[in-house]
Amino acid sequence: MNTNLIWLVAMPLIGSAVTAVVVRYKFLDRLITFLTFATTLFVLFLAHVGQSYSWTLKFLGTTLNLTLNVSHLSIFMLYISIAFGTVLAFYSLIDNSRMKGFLLLLVLAANNWIFMSNDMIGFFFAWELMGWASVVSVLGGREKEKSRHAALYYAMMSVAGSYSMLFGIFILWRLTGTFSISANIAYLSSIIGGHPWWVLGIVSLFFMTFMIKSGIFPFHTWVPLAYAYSPDAFTPFLSAAMSKYGVYGMLLFLPLGLLEKGFPTAFGVPWTNYIFLWFGVITAVVGTVLSIFQDDVKKLFAYSSLSNLGYVVAAIALFTPVGITAGIYHAFNHLLFEGALFITLLAVISRSGTSKLSEMGGLWKKMPITFFTFFVGIASAAGIPPFNGFGSKWLVYQAMIKQHLIFATILLFLASTGAFMYLFKAFHSIFLGQLSHDYERVKEVPIVGQIVEAFLMIAMIFFGVQPGYILKPIGAIVKSMGLKPLPVMANGYVAGMFSNVYMPLIGWSLVVSFIFGFILFYVSAEHKNVSQTDNYTAGQIPEDWGLTPETYQFSWNFYQPVEKLFVPFFRIKIDGFFRGIGDWTKATGSAIKEIFVGNAQMYAFFAIVGLIIFVIAGWMA
């Protein structure tokens, strides 16, 4: 019995209650949010692997066992999500978007509960709490109408996921009579030999929920809407931490496929995992391609975020030691760089007042710290060594090549180069090029924001150069799943299947060559700085053309030639499919409503039929 685990859930709930009272005083609200995050992080230091806490609940004559349990995976997830949340909450002290602290704290409570819960009732309850708190959070975006629509869409998808999970939970409860997650998974693995289709069906119900939460194709449609129109200060948490709940859930259920030795395989992977892997690969490609054509910067990075989750899913679906390591490592890297990128976007949007790429430009002069953090962020996201993000992508490729998955490897490479394209597009359109007259008076974010940005920049470089600090706990997770972990040599090494990379060496090589570069630059002839409009225009005078910095900036239709390549694919509308379901539901609903409202006798008749079915069902059960 470790009561400290209770505090991990209770502390954010108390903080949430307090902030709900002072919600009208913005700074107080944010301050208490930050302090609660920091305290929760402190409470987390007291938690250790193997601790558990359980209590029983008597409900309608049934005894429910609620259990909290700290495994290697959960403590890793708890650390990264709470640490990132603390950084974000610190930034939010100076933020003026309409994010509500108490909602963020409710999400934090749910976050801790999800990662620790070992019973399905608690897991489901926490999942719902997280879902609804985040849906309400999305409502406070900059554009009211659009964020309402986005929240509704997100809520619908969440509800669909929740029903699916609830259905799965009750089937399992019916079969085993217990809500314990580990007992149910053990049960499933014991029957997988005899009834593979049953197991697949039940597990699919859970996976649908997890795929919706992580935004995996074909359930990715809510992601860009919810990310783009949620309050700017909430989006980093939505992208960095909340997308990991799905990954965590998948990692709970994935070991099933391996347990049955006679299970049919494709490329050395159980065929169920093989199909699941393709969902990940398609997500990576779809996210990348759609991201290339976005003009709203938050939508662009929303697609980027889900594309990276495609990598994570593709890697963990393999369920080989290198695959799991790569997947969890990429999940961590994604949290760090995507979180940092969304925080810099928050800074940029708060200063420029727009999220349209075509309206920005040249901001590096005005916001240097933000600029450098963003630069390191996109270098990480593009997988450039020695920043973080390289090691995990590199391991993902090796995991794919190891299993002889040709097409998956090629498509993931395509997604990676495509990532470079959209990252550069965002980079150029926000920070480079001509500075518009509108932004002449833009200032860098306040000092608190600069501290957070610099901290994240250093973190991205540190975890890139010293990957061992992350790979060691991941090794423990892999071991706890019954696989042989990859060798961890020194802190600087990433050990792969085909070769090793010593990251500090790359760092030093870059440092030395940059010193040479600067020396060569400063010993050669001097230069003088000119104004931004002093450009080559083939002898024409820009004023004669009526050119202003705004019109001399290339940021509209950036990758127009690429669009032609993907025209056939744009005809497929996943969103249309879901809207079709929505319309159908509406039509059916109104038909049913006709029955009920039209005739009282009819109503009574249905009520009686329902009652009879209810009684029969209860009798048979």
* CB distance 281 to 412 below 8 Å: yes
DSSP labels, 394-446: HHHHHHHHHTT-HHHHHHHHHHHHHHHHHHHHHHHHHHSSPPPGGGTT--PPP
Residue written as token pair 């083939």? 538
In the bound complex, what is the minimum distance in angstroms from residue 261's beta carbon to other proteins?
24
**505 touching other proteins, by CB under 8 A:** yes
**125 touching other proteins, by CB under 8 A:** no
In the bound complex, what is the minimum distance in angstroms from residue 416's beta carbon to other proteins?
8
Say which residues have a Cβ less than 8 Å from residue 162's Cβ, sequence separation at least 6.
Answer: 124, 127, 128, 131, 209
For other proteins, which is the closer residue by CB, 240 or 411?
Answer: 411
Residues 402-421 that bind other proteins (CB under 8 A): 404, 406-407, 409-410, 413-414, 416-418, 420-421
Q: Which two tokens stand for residue 526?
A: 């001097």
Segment near other proteins (CB under 8 A), from 26-34, 57-65, 214-222, 535-543?
535-543
Q: For other proteins, which residue of 265, 509, 540, 585 counts as binding (CB under 8 A)?
A: 509
Residues 151-180 that bind other proteins (CB under 8 A): none
In the bound complex, what is the minimum distance in angstroms from residue 397's beta carbon to other proteins?
6
CA–CA distance, 510 with 515 (Å, rounded to integer): 8
CA–CA distance, 183 with 177 (Å, rounded to integer): 10
Q: For other proteins, which residue of 28, 401, 451, 461 counts as binding (CB under 8 A)?
A: 401
Q: What is the largest CA-CA distance in the chain?
A: 95
In the bound complex, what is the minimum distance in angstroms from residue 529's beta carbon to other proteins?
5
578-607: string of b/e by CB count within 10 Å (b at 16+)?
A: beeeeeeeeeeeeeeeeeeeeeeeeeeeee
In the bound complex, what is the minimum distance in angstroms from residue 138's beta carbon to other proteins?
33
**265 touching other proteins, by CB under 8 A:** no
Host H or E run for residue 501 = strand 500-502
For other proteins, which is the closer residue by CB, 170 or 508?
Answer: 508
Secondary structure of residue 65 in the 3-state scheme:
strand
Q: How many residues sit close enough to other proteins to count as binding (CB under 8 A)?
A: 79
Give burial (CB, 10 Å; 0-12/13-18/19+) of 400.
buried
Q: For other proteins, which residue of 217, 274, 303, 394 counts as binding (CB under 8 A)?
A: 394
For other proteins, which is the closer residue by CB, 270 or 383?
Answer: 383
Residues 540-569 that bind other proteins (CB under 8 A): 549, 552-554, 558-559, 561-562, 564-565
Sequence-ordered alpha helix ranges (H) in 319-362: 321-352
Q: Which of 358, 389, 346 has the alpha carbon at shortest distance from 233?
A: 346
Residue written as token pair 């996976």? 207
In the bound complex, what is the minimum distance in angstroms from residue 380's beta carbon to other proteins?
11
CA–CA distance, 331 with 512 (Å, rounded to integer): 31
Residues 73-92 that bind other proteins (CB under 8 A): none
CA distances from 390 to 303, 307, 359, 581 (A): 19, 15, 31, 40
**592 touching other proteins, by CB under 8 A:** no
Per-residue binding letters, 307-346, with other proteins (x by CB under 8 A): ----------------------------------------
Q: What angle do CA 385, 391, 396 make, to 5 degrees?
A: 130
CA–CA distance, 187 with 192 (Å, rounded to integer): 9
**433 touching other proteins, by CB under 8 A:** yes
Residues 355-384 that bind other proteins (CB under 8 A): 362, 364-365, 371, 375, 378-379, 382-384
In the bound complex, what is the minimum distance in angstroms from residue 143's beta carbon to other proteins?
29
CA distances from 548 to 450, 541, 553 (A): 31, 11, 9
Segment near other proteins (CB under 8 A), from 274-282, 299-307, 347-355, 524-532?
524-532
In the bound complex, what is the minimum distance in angstroms from residue 468's beta carbon to other proteins?
16
In the bound complex, what is the minimum distance in angstroms from residue 255's beta carbon to other proteins?
27
For other proteins, which is the closer residue by CB, 515 or 595?
Answer: 515
Peptide bond into 218 cis (omega under 30): yes
Q: For other proteins, which residue of 527, 543, 591, 620 counts as binding (CB under 8 A)?
A: 527
Question: Which residues, listed in sequence order, are joined to residue 53 by a DSSP beta bridge?
Answer: 68
For other proteins, which is the closer residue by CB, 464 or 473?
Answer: 464
Q: For other proteins, which residue of 145, 440, 526, 544 counts as binding (CB under 8 A)?
A: 526
Per-residue binding letters, 461-500, with other proteins (x by CB under 8 A): -----------------------------------xxxxx
**270 touching other proteins, by CB under 8 A:** no
**525 touching other proteins, by CB under 8 A:** yes
**434 touching other proteins, by CB under 8 A:** yes
For other proteins, which is the closer residue by CB, 187 or 427?
Answer: 427
For other proteins, which is the closer residue by CB, 260 or 295?
Answer: 295
Q: Which two tokens stand for residue 528?
A: 């003088």
